[in-house]
Amino acid sequence: MMQSNVKLAFAGGGNMAQAMISGLVAHGCSAARLRVADPDSQKLQEIFHRFGVSIFEENRAAVSPANVVVLAVKPGLVPTVLEEISPVLAPDALVISIAAGVTLATLQRHLPAKQPVVRAMPNTPALVGEGITVMIPAATCDSAKAETARNVLESMGEVVEIDNESLMDGVTALSGSGPAYVYLMLEALSDGGVACGLPRTLADKLAVKTMLGSAKLVQESGKHPAILKNQVTSPAGTTIAALLELEKAGLRGTLMQAVMAAWQRSRQLGAS
């Protein structure tokens, strides 16, 4: 549970910021403790009407009284936003960045030398409280600040802490970008059902429930996906016929290459 003295400001009011706000409010955090800055006045009004939080068009105004600041802006805007807010940041204010590819070194380069910083990568299932976030604290972040960051990020779902920042690009490629891969597969499964004559609504429902149920079975059984796949695959049956087509098309290799392409792009963002 987040400490009662935390005043939290968001620089950026996009989907991930709103997912965090929704989760925090659902976990009992008072909207009076939350502040959001975004240049889009229409978006701010929507956030205000949805959550009742304080809204600002300038980052400095939102950040100045906060002791936790979440950077929820596009990666290319991070240096500019940090330079803007640094003069008004409290010396012990915790900065949590959820910007893809932006390293701790980049964050610290644009902040006061001893500013506590955490780099995190959530994903969009956070919008329904089913996200997974990987976080890594900087050396300037003591255990109490790291725990505060964990409490904030747990508003979106599960949190995993790592101590090797070089893994973060892989995290971004797999879980950060991963929902898009799943949505594409769901769309294709539903289209396949429609091609077999199923009504679209039924095909959509079957695709979603099959994906959800299969993932939950892996999670709860603790069995390797290959073992569970074999349990569905009868000799000379329908499943092996389908799997043969997927192997011919190189599905596994293509998915692996997709993750690696996202990994390379995340590394490029970190180097820019």
Q: For the segment 222-254, what is each residue's pLDDT rounded down to a tens digit?
A: 999 999 999 999 999 999 999 999 999 999 999
C-alpha–C-alpha distance, residues 27 and 36, integer Å: 18
pLDDT at 1 over 60: no
Percent of the chain exceeding pLDDT 70 equals 98
C-alpha–C-alpha distance, residues 88 and 62, integer Å: 10
Query: What CATH code is assigned to 8-163?
Result: 3.40.50.720
pLDDT at site 268: 86
Dihedral angle, C-alpha 161, 162, 168, 170, nearest 10 ° = -100
Q: Coil, strand or helix: which one is 230?
A: helix
pLDDT at site 4: 62
Give the homologous superfamily in CATH for domain 176-271.
ProC C-terminal domain-like (1.10.3730.10)
pLDDT at 216 over 80: yes
> Tens digit of pLDDT for each residue in 23-73?
888 888 899 999 999 999 999 999 999 999 999 999 999 999 999 999 999
pLDDT at site 192: 98
* Residue that wins the pLDDT comparison between 188 and 101: 188
Provide CATH 1.10.3730.10 ranges for the chain. 176-271
pLDDT at site 272: 66
* Residue that wins the pLDDT comparison between 15 and 239: 239
Q: What is the mean pLDDT of residues 87-99?
A: 94
pLDDT at site 137: 97
pLDDT tier for residue 204 given thresholds of 50, 70 and 90: very high
pLDDT at site 3: 60
Q: What is the mean pLDDT of residues 108-122?
A: 94
Provide CATH 3.40.50.720 ranges for the chain. 8-163
Closest CA to 12 of 133, 99, 141, 113: 99
CB 193 within 8 A of CB 207: yes
pLDDT at site 27: 84
C-alpha–C-alpha distance, residues 235 and 246, integer Å: 17
pLDDT at site 222: 96
